[in-house]
Copies of this chain bind each other. A is one copy, B any other.
Amino acid sequence: MPIHSMWDDFPEIKDELAESYAVMEKKVHIRNKEVEQVIFDLLRSGGKLLRPAYFILFSRFGNTKTQNHKQITHAAASLEILHMATLVHDDIIDDSPTRRGSPTVQSKYGKDIAVYTGDFLFAVYFGLIADSTESLSTIRLNAFVMKRILLGELDQMHLRYNTEITLRQYLRNINGKTAQLFSLSCLQGAKIGQANLAVTTSSQHIGHNIGIAFQILDDVLDYTKDSESLKKPVLEDMKQGVYSLPLILALRGNKKKFDPFLSKGPNMSDEDVQIVSDLVSQYGGVDEAKQLAKRYTDKALKAIRLLPERPEKAVLYQLTKQLLHRDY
């Protein structure tokens, strides 16, 4: 199974990424054929392997001669598997009908399989980490980040249907649910590559800013793309009470305009959702959100420019630019 075609433009890391993908395919074998099928479907429905890619890029900023290739591919795989595990469980919470254009595990196989598939992926992730490091501090770091990711998800759940949600709360949520894993991917790459302290510190910062910008742009897409090209139901989040940045910004000072629709909660009609979406654009929520994403993107790009000269530096810059100047 080939990896996403976007990597044809990045020959410097394509092979290592493909090997990491092969590690994933190998490690998710399980006697229960239903769960195995579920995971293969997920793997093959086109995850972009962004987290492994950032990991691999940062691993090249240290001493590439002493690197253990097996450790690199296994660590890269572990990051994507952790990402998948959280996606599967999030879809249970959200009762999402689709993910990556295909039905979610829960909607296709039911809640039970979804719970255990996620748990199995956590176990695979756990095993991959052990295969990718000799350092217990890496294990501790992973356990810490796993907790932070869950905290982000819990915070988001806690704030559902809350029209008073602040920018600060939103940023805290997406830090947990998205930026932490990007940050871990970059940091772990720098560490496994034995990069110097300046690069290691910067890697975490770069990953964080990429993660925040990435999530904001993902939330913006909900308001700017139609359902078909997005391959997921547009504004599903809104009905579920997950209010993202464009709406949060548009609500400022205009709460009364939104209340008649948002107060219906899960019973919002498709028409209500469309009206709210139009109001969000009208009150500048989409534009302001894009501006904020740009600030985080610029921070990331600026920090990348300050990294030591390596062939991978240009790749990192190009990938980040391409990723965060998405078509919106």
- List the interface of chain A (C-beta within 8 A of B): 30-32, 34-35, 89, 92-93, 111-113, 115-116, 118-120, 122-124, 126-127, 129-131, 133-134, 136, 139-140, 142-144, 146-147, 150-151, 153-155, 157-158
CB neighbours (8 Å) of A139 from chain B are 126, 129-130, 139
Chain B residues near A92: list those with CB within 8 A. Answer: 111-112, 115
Instruction: Point out the residue from B34, B111, B120, B142 that lies within 8 Å of A126, measured CB to CB.
Output: B142
**Minimal Cβ-Cβ distance residue in B for A145:** B123
Q: 25 A-B residue contacts at CB 8 Å? A: A32-B151, A32-B154, A32-B155, A34-B158, A92-B111, A93-B115, A93-B116, A112-B157, A115-B115, A115-B118, A116-B150, A116-B153, A116-B157, A120-B150, A122-B122, A123-B143, A123-B150, A124-B143, A124-B147, A126-B126, A127-B140, A133-B136, A134-B136, A136-B136, A139-B139
Give Cα A136–Cα B137 distance, bound, in whole angstroms: 11
The distance from the CB of A37 to the nearest CB of chain B, in whole angstroms, is 13
Once the chains bind, are A89 and B32 in contact (CB under 8 Å)? Answer: no
Given contacts A136-B134, A150-B120, contact A127 B143 (CB under 8 A): yes
Which are the 10 A-B pairs with shortest beta-carbon distances? Answer: A127-B143, A130-B139, A123-B146, A126-B143, A32-B154, A123-B147, A130-B140, A93-B112, A120-B150, A130-B136
When distances are taken between beta carbons in the complex, the residues of chain B under 8 Å from A122 are 119, 122, 146
A115: which B residues are within 8 A, CB to CB?
89, 92-93, 115, 118
Give, as a whole number of angstroms, the nearest-CB distance from A104 to chain B.
13
**What residues of chain B lie closer than 8 Å to A129, measured between beta carbons?**
139
B119 touches A150 (CB 8 A): yes
* Contact partners of A140 in chain B: CB under 8 A: 127, 130-131
Q: Which residue of B lies closest to A90 (CB)?
A: B115
Bound-state Cα–Cα, A116 to B94, Å: 12
Q: Which residues of chain B come closer than 8 Å to A153, judged between CB atoms?
A: 116
Is the pair B158, A144 in contact by a Cβ cutoff of 8 Å? no
Question: Which residues of B lie under 8 Å from residue A112 when comparing CB positions?
Answer: 92-93, 157
A157: which B residues are within 8 A, CB to CB?
A: 112-113, 116
Closest to A85 in B: B119
